[in-house]
Amino acid sequence: MKKLTYITIVVILSSCADFLDERPNKNIVIPETLDELQALLDASPRGMNESPGVHQISSDDFVTTDNGFTGFRNIIEQNAYIWSEEIFENLGLDWSTPYLQIFYANIVLEGLNNYNSINQDEEERKKVIEGRALFYRAFAYYNLAICFTDHPDNNLNNTTKLGLPLKLSPDINEPIARAELSETFERIIEDLEGAVLYLPENYDFMTRPSKRAAYAMLSRVHLYLKNYQRSLEFADLALGIDDELLDYNNVQTSSLFSFNLENPEIIFFNQMLAYSWNSSTLSFVNPEIYEMYADGDLRKEVFFRNRGFGINFLGNYTGGIFFFTGLANNEVMLNRAECLVRLGEEIQGIEQLNTLLAKRYRVGSFDGIENQQGESLLQLVLKERRKELLFRGIRWADLKRLNTEPGLEQTLRRVVFGTEYVLEPNSPRYVFPIPPQEINQSGIQQNQR
Amino acid sequence: MYSKQFIKYSLICILLFLSIQQLKAQSTYSVTGKVNTENQEAVPGAMVILKGSSRGVVTDEEGVFELNLPSGDIVLRVSYLGYATVEKTISVPISEPIQIYLKEEGFSMEAFEIVSTGYEELPKERATGSFAQVDNELLNRRISTNLLDRLEDVTPGLVFNRTGGGDPISIRGRSTISANANPLIVIDNFPYDGPLESINPNDVESITVLRDAAAASIWGARAGNGVIVITTKKGQAATKPKFSFNTNTNFIEAPDLFYAPRMEISDFIGVERTLFDRGFYQSREVSIDRQTLSPGVELMIQLRDGIISQGEYDERLAALQSIDTRSELNRHFYQPQINQQHSASLSGGTATHQYVVSLGYDQNRASIVGNKNDRITLSTQNTWNLANDRLTLNLGVYYAQRNNVETTKLPDLFPYDRLADEAGNALPVIQGLSKRYIQGLDNPFLLDWTFVPIEEIGMRNDRQQNTDLRANMALQYKVSKDLKLDLQYQYWQNAANNKEIVSQETFEVRDLINRFTQVEPDGQLSRAIPIGAIYNKSDIFAKSHTVRAQLTYNKKIGKHQVSALGGGELKDWTSNTDRIRYYGYSERFANSENVDYFTRFRTFHNNRLANIPYGGGHSGSIDRFVSAFANASYTYDKKYIFSASARNDASNLFGVRANQRAVPLWSTGLAWILSEEGFYSWVAVPYLKLRGTYGFSGNIDRTVTAFTTASAMQGNFNPVSRLPYAQVLNPPNENLRWEQIQMTNFGLDFESKSGRLSGSFEYYIKNGVDLFGTIPMAPSSGVLTYRGNFASSKTQGLDMIIRGKIVQRAIRWDASLIYNHVRDRVTGYETQASVSNYLAFAGGSDLIFPFEGRPLFSVYSYPWGGLNPDNGNPMGMLDGEPSDNYTAIFNEATPESIIFNGSARPTSVGTVSNNFSYKGFSLSANITYRFGHVFRRSSILYNSLFNGDLGHEDFGNRWRNPGDELSTQVPSMPLGLNANRDNMYRYSEILVERGDHIRLQDVRVSYLFDEIKGFNRLELYAFVNNLGLLWKHTDLPIDPDFRTMRPLKSFAFGVRIDL
């Protein structure tokens, strides 16, 4: 008997180490392999393909009624709609979601750094994943920059140009401070240029970044920074890979949402964080925009539904209720047209506009733009941009950029329950306050508005 | 004092005497005898009765008696105040005088109390730790299907929580913040992995609750929340077969839907009318999602659009105002519950083999028509004494099968939906999509899109079956007189199989099929979801193996007594879950159809993109433990006891360094039986014991890891790409430690002369060290919260039980008083949550926001500034002045500036039990009390009223005109939705009430037939539960502890028979 006990104890002790190595939950892993790291980047349901929406509420794409205003279920929406000084209560997804993307990208970059490929195939795959991670990080920083930092050319505010806290490692305890604004954009461009080196030309899944997406994003960033030559170069590179357009003559307007995801224009899929106003039928398109479309312009039917008491926007490239904030050929073409016009290549600029608009008008009703030049041509390009890219999360960046150009400034006005609210051009209220939890926990400097 | 062997021997003897029941009437013989105390002193005046008759005598000065008795086996019953009644069987004729020894009752009670830790059984008097014992009689007092219910109100230190927090019971307050807060349940020496519902209370012999470190630390890292040790019934050596049967039926009234005070239906429709006139429903009316509007609002639309006349409108609105959905539900959906419980067991044994076999069947009718559940339990336990008693083998098998059948689901209705007309014909109600949309459809391809609640009664077929099997084997080998070797093994498995066949006839399925009806480019309709039922199936299979080897040493040399045990334990637990859903299922032909989960379909009613809901999934978990334990106690001269125990637990924690996998924990204790000292001379209290212990137990949080972990998700949850993905669960935490609970306990046990008064007092200090806490992080780090060993807590308390034998004549009156006091404070928490978090929590949700220096579950509120005399707006305080500038008030509020109203959990809880008996008749009643807590009462919340919930009755008392603010505190009705305004009122101090109350919990009446031939015992009993409040501090019409539904009254009766 004692012998048996002895044997039992020896067996137990010697097998202990292995016995306790078993993973407690089959669904839980320490992400280490290339598949596991890629899976982190594919986490769209966690927000990898989402971008801020608070600036869309503040932008002039959108209006609502008093009933619509009180119907906002989130106080952030009310604050943003009337450009209040305070926006967020404690947390704000508009801030934390991009930082979550940055966190995931940094985990992946660190994981790849520790990963030793066993063969050339793996090494190539590793590079592609690295390119994707860099793209996600740059995309997130750009989205944060348009909300939470000033435009670099806004000279009205004499404060130092504050950038974003730049997190480049997954260490959550690393102390952080806000970088300079110029450094922030340098980082965005460096990451995107790094991504270009590794990414495949086109996407396999539209939620994954490609070289085409990195070029399109570089074009967007440089346009915002008013580097028109660079923006043009990258627009050319993106369209060089694929410049197909969706002919709106073939879009069915009988269904509620006009588009679906089988859309050749989509370069990279991204959607706007959902707020309650997304699904309210009292959320209307600014009637000024609705009036801009000429007869024969299919967008008037494809984008909108006139409900009698207001116009709803239903032309999302997501195919559903969510606003599309990814990259698409129509945006790249409009970037290109604007850059060409600004750089004096007016004929080419008009050509580019005509290529796009030909697919937007009813067959036979579009004659093409001719005989436009100079200031009025720039106005026309900007007007086309406004008509094409509404509810795409682009307007806020455009407002900030154009406000820095004399003659192109815009003053925004709103009336809620009889009170008029005004947003002056270059107002500090174009920069959203950072959510209080960030200020309280990391002590970084708040934006003054 | 008595040794363990003697106690066992005495028990066996008593049981033996009890089982002999035959009487033979023949000629009489003279029998003499003497009644003595254990110290050989004569007992004069003792009653000696011939059991089952009224014949008897009283002993003389010398304690001697004489009786004339017929020949045969006869039972004598000897009783004397302060001494335990003894029954002695004699065979008449008998030559020498019988010697009968009486034990002083008080001592005998203590001495016979055996406490079990799951590793050993020890007499309570030799313990240093804090044990609370619930014996069989107390367990059987209450009638319930569930075992745990029977511990309520009768166990000092154990409190049932009624305010959320995820811990239905706690022992001496909550020991953790965010880790597992449930006590460890041990059944027959092994931690139980299955659902407690599978345990038949009739199979349980006794329960011991281990409250302090010395008692519990033998369970180490799992004992932080206390341990409940359940011991099932076992056969007794040398007893005749005993058959027991117990049956009872419990009637529980139907839920009282009118309990929570609500506004009048006519007022509710009036609000709808006001909102309609303000254009409140405009957005919903034209909603692309075809949102539903209530019958009243639909009527208003019809009036506005000229579809009906004013006269017709008035008439139909009046009809709606007379409907109350609660009455309709009462009439058609609810019924009283009827719970039936039957159990039978057979036990007995010889010197070499003891056995018990029992069978139980419970059948419960649920409170919703057509729903029911049942349970079958079968258990058997056998013990063999082999090799001249050197080897003991014990085999136990416990099987339980529970079935839950749900054929009816409660519909979600508007406050005034009529379910049937006067003739009893079922009526349709508005459900899912707007009435105008459904009525406007004229499409024969679609399935009927109306919902008729009454027709769906009994239409579902949801079956949950849980099969639990536990088998254990214990081998004990007596190596020598003092040394024993135990080998124990337990196998456990549990299969939970859920089958949910939702018929195509149900609205749920018709609705889903219609929503996924596709319009083809040619205008033809097709179905993405095929016709047929939806069949959801999930199977969870869990099993565990536990092995334990243990050496036990007991030695007594002169005044020294040592007992020690040590050993090791290994546990392997696995659980796997598989879920699947079938569409187009036909029960008749047992087939189903494939659907396309990949395509994003346009839904028919709103053209949104949607995937067909996928019901599949898999998960699997494995827990492993390797533990080593040792426990020793030393007793000197039966007066001084020293104990110590230690345990090391290692587990397969994931993502931690190897040295973090294990935690060593220890405890030590001292006891002094003061009354054994020579100098002790307090005659009134012949037994007095002092105890003190100190030690650690632990807790584990398996979700926290030292490395980054991610959870792998299925592609079905990824709507656009359908790619499988991973989400980060935990950022790395390199400084991970186990939670430790440090506990100091002081106890005093006493007993007065003749056991008239006995009891114990326990005072404890419990410090939670390295508790897991969640702190907010800077979102730029990528995580919003972070869990780590950030918190500490301090709990002080008192557990007290006093038992008294107040009257001990023909009428007996026994009483007991339980008093538990718990005062807990969070002593360390690195960061603060936001004011809104503190306010919203109030013990109502499972997310806890601790605040340094305050109880873990606390209620906070804003200072109240009354109503604005101009418009009836609720006002808070801003810079010392009443104000309705809510944004400013909320922005300026800090966790320090808001009011701390008190603990959400009672700080004093207890029971007063009284038991009266006269002959076979007995009556007992439990009065329970809970003091020291506060709660936030509900009132009218306009946001939820506007969104269609029937508001609180305070609505009728709202501010309407200037001046009303002098007589009411209920805000006026606002123009539209305004969350801040609602929150100002909801979280203000005027809605906080004290929860103190006393209730008459239950009454039990029973009659024990004294002697019926052929029966060893025949008892009839009745039990009434939840009798109601006797007193409450608040003037509100609700029960402070049950604010949404009062505890339902129940009435049970039953019979218990032993043969």
The CA-to-CA distance between both ends of chain B, in Å, stands at: 34
A-chain CB neighbours of B709 within 8 Å are 28-31
Domain count, chain A: 1
Point out the residue among A9, A307, A438 whose CB comes nearest to the CB of B780: A438
Question: What integer pLDDT is reported at residue B107 of this predicted model?
Answer: 39
- Contact yes or no for A102/A138 (Cβ under 8 A): no
Point out the residue among B620, B709, B784 whose CB comes nearest to the CB of A30: B709
Nearest CA in chain B to A18: B652
B-chain CB neighbours of A206 within 8 Å are 720-721
CB contact B725 to A (< 8 Å): yes
User: Residue ranges of the domains in chain B?
Assistant: 4-103, 110-235, 265-333+409-456
B-chain CB neighbours of A312 within 8 Å are 288
Question: What integer pLDDT is reported at residue B754 of this predicted model?
Answer: 80
B22 CB burial (10 A radius; 0-12, 13-18, 19+): exposed
Question: What integer pLDDT is reported at residue B260 of this predicted model?
Answer: 92
Whichever domain contains A58, its CATH number is 1.25.40.390
Question: What integer pLDDT is reported at residue B123 of this predicted model?
Answer: 79
- The residues near B444 (Cβ < 8 Å, ≥ 6 apart) are none
pLDDT, averaged across chain B: 88
Residue A13 placed within a domain:
no
Of the candidates B901, B907, B968, which has an alpha carbon nearest to the alpha carbon of residue B935?
B901
> What is the pLDDT averaged over residues B953-965?
95
Copy the structure tokens of residue B1003: 């009454």
B-chain CB neighbours of A20 within 8 Å are 624, 626, 650-652, 661
Query: What pLDDT, in 10s, does the model give residues A91-147?
Result: 899 999 999 999 999 999 999 999 999 999 999 999 999 999 999 999 999 999 999
pLDDT exceeds cutoff 80 at B649: yes
Query: If residue B872 lies in a helix (H) or strand (E), which one and from where to where?
Result: none
Burial A131-167 (b: 16+ CB within 10 A, else e): bbbbbbbbbbbbbbbbbbbbbbebeebeeebbbbbbb
Of the candidates A41, A42, A40, A56, which has an alpha carbon nearest to the alpha carbon of residue A272?
A56
Strands (DSSP E) found in B434-507: 461-478, 483-502
> What is the pLDDT averaged over residues B555-580?
93
Please indicate whether, in this complex, the C-beta atoms of A20 and B784 are within 8 angstroms of each other: no
Query: What pLDDT, in 10s, does the model give residues B315-365?
Result: 999 999 999 999 999 999 999 999 999 999 999 888 889 999 999 999 999
Rounded to the nearest angstrom, the minimum Cα separation between A180 and chain B is 16
> What is the pLDDT averaged over residues B874-880?
94
Query: What pLDDT, in 10s, does the model give residues B68-98?
Result: 877 777 778 887 766 777 878 788 877 788 8
CA angle B109, B110, B112 (to 5 degrees): 70
Single-letter residue type at A207: T
- The residues near B322 (Cβ < 8 Å, ≥ 6 apart) are B265
Residue A5 placed within a domain:
no
Q: B462: which strand partners?
A: B406, B500
The alpha carbon dihedral of A125, A126, A128, A129 has a sign of positive
Give the number of other Cβ atoms within 10 Å of residue B195's Cβ: 13
d(CA B726, CA A80) in angstroms, rounded, equals: 33
- The residues near B315 (Cβ < 8 Å, ≥ 6 apart) are none
Residue A268 placed within a domain:
yes
Rounded to the nearest angstrom, the minimum Cα separation between B451 and chain A is 26
Of the candidates A351, A389, A356, A381, which has an alpha carbon nearest to the alpha carbon of residue A248?
A356
Please indicate whether, in this complex, the C-beta atoms of B624 and A205 are within 8 angstroms of each other: no
pLDDT exceeds cutoff 80 at A405: yes
Question: What integer pLDDT is reported at residue B517 of this predicted model?
Answer: 95
- Contact yes or no for B743/B697 (Cβ under 8 A): yes
Most distant CA pair in chain A: distance in Å?
Answer: 106
Q: Which domain holds residue A283?
A: 34-442
Residue A279 placed within a domain:
yes
Strands (DSSP E) found in B656-738: 662-673, 687-699, 709-713, 725-730
> What is the pLDDT averaged over residues B557-571?
92
Rounded to the nearest angstrom, the minimum Cα separation between A232 and chain B is 31
Nearest CA in chain B to A253: B607
Question: What integer pLDDT is reported at residue B21 of this predicted model?
Answer: 35
pLDDT exceeds cutoff 90 at A214: yes
CATH topology of domain B110-235: Ferric Hydroxamate Uptake Protein; Chain A, domain 1 (2.170.130)
Rounded to the nearest angstrom, the minimum Cα separation between A242 and chain B is 21
Question: What integer pLDDT is reported at residue B843 of this predicted model?
Answer: 52
Copy the structure tokens of residue A245: 């357009």
Please indicate whether, in this complex, the C-beta atoms of A42 and B724 are within 8 angstroms of each other: yes
pLDDT, averaged across chain A: 91
Query: What pLDDT, in 10s, does the model give residues B730-783?
Result: 787 777 788 889 999 999 999 998 888 999 999 999 999 989 888 888 999 998
d(CA B155, CA B132) in angstroms, rounded, equals: 7
d(CA B694, CA B671) in angstroms, rounded, equals: 12
- Contact yes or no for B981/B900 (Cβ under 8 A): no
Helices (H), B876-931: 886-892
d(CA B752, CA B761) in angstroms, rounded, equals: 14
CB pairs under 8 A between A and B: 249
The alpha carbon dihedral of A160, A162, A166, A172 has a sign of positive
What confidence tier does B19 reach under pLDDT thresholds 50, 70, 90? very low
d(CA B581, CA B536) in angstroms, rounded, equals: 4
Point out the residue among A70, A309, A442 whose CB comes nearest to the CB of B778: A442
CA angle A345, A346, A349 (to 5 degrees): 90
Single-letter residue type at B1059: L
Q: B363: which strand partners?
A: B340, B374
> What is the pLDDT averaged over residues B209-235?
87
Give the number of other Cβ atoms within 10 Å of residue A282's Cβ: 24
Burial A197-224 (b: 16+ CB within 10 A, else e): ebbeeebeebbbbbbbbbbbbbbbbbbb
Residue A425 placed within a domain:
yes
Rounded to the nearest angstrom, the minimum Cα separation between A103 and chain B is 5
- Contact yes or no for A343/A236 (Cβ under 8 A): no
Rounded to the nearest angstrom, the minimum Cα separation between B604 and chain A is 10
3 state SS of B223: coil
Of the candidates B46, B132, B44, which has an alpha carbon nearest to the alpha carbon of residue B84?
B46
- The residues near B995 (Cβ < 8 Å, ≥ 6 apart) are B906, B930, B933, B934, B935, B1033, B1034, B1040, B1041
- Contact yes or no for B824/B883 (Cβ under 8 A): no
What confidence tier does B420 reach under pLDDT thresholds 50, 70, 90? very high
Place of tokens 């603060």: B832
Q: What is the CATH number of domain B4-103?
A: 2.60.40.1120
Please indicate whether, in this complex, the C-beta atoms of A280 and B283 are within 8 angstroms of each other: yes
Single-letter residue type at B505: E
d(CA B171, CA B156) in angstroms, rounded, equals: 9
Residue A178 placed within a domain:
yes
Question: What integer pLDDT is reported at residue A131 of this predicted model?
Answer: 97
Residue A143 placed within a domain:
yes
- Contact yes or no for B936/B841 (Cβ under 8 A): no
- Contact yes or no for B660/B736 (Cβ under 8 A): yes
B-chain CB neighbours of A22 within 8 Å are 622, 624, 652
Copy the structure tokens of residue B923: 């009556």
Give the number of other Cβ atoms within 10 Å of residue A372's Cβ: 17
d(CA B404, CA B498) in angstroms, rounded, equals: 9
> What is the pLDDT averaged over residues B377-399?
93
- Look up the ipTM and state it: 0.90
Single-letter residue type at B389: D
Query: What pLDDT, in 10s, does the model give residues A256-300?
Result: 778 888 899 999 999 999 888 887 878 899 999 999 999 999 999
